[in-house]
Amino acid sequence: MDVTKSKMRKGITLVEVMLAVLVFVVAVLGTSYAFAFGRGEIKRQEQQRIAVLLAGQGLDELKATEYDEIKQGETIKAVTLSEQDNGLTYFRTIQVADEEDESFKTVTATVRWGLTGVEHSLALTTIIAP
């Protein structure tokens, strides 16, 4: 009888197998969630990088313009850039404001983008002097 009990204890019980599978599934789900979250963050950062480039490009174009040709409150250009892969559209507007002493102008480039229900925006401001 001792031999039979000893042989039975050498195996793995169903409960031990189920616990091992549960631990493995939790680990795999946690890892896959981390990867999915990371990919979403990478995509968001890429969208923000494009917005910064568009805003900077708008400010650079305005800086290349003669100072006297830049009018207060003027929206210089509204640019729409569509990404084919995810359907995002970027809108860029540029606002010019004269300062009180009119010795310089404050220029703000704002870029908006996003999908339905979730919109992001980014603004860059600079000062242009004659």
Range of the domain at 102: 2-128
- What pTM value is reported for the model? 0.69
Single out the residue of 121, 113, 129 nearest to residue 62, CA to CA: 129
Write out pLDDT tens, residues 51-100: 899 899 988 988 888 888 888 776 766 676 666 556 678 888 889 988 77
What is the side-by-side strand order in the sheet with 79-82? 79-82, 89-98, 105-115, 118-128
Per-residue pLDDT for 101 more than 90? no
Number of structural domains in the chain: 1
Type of residue found at 67:
Y
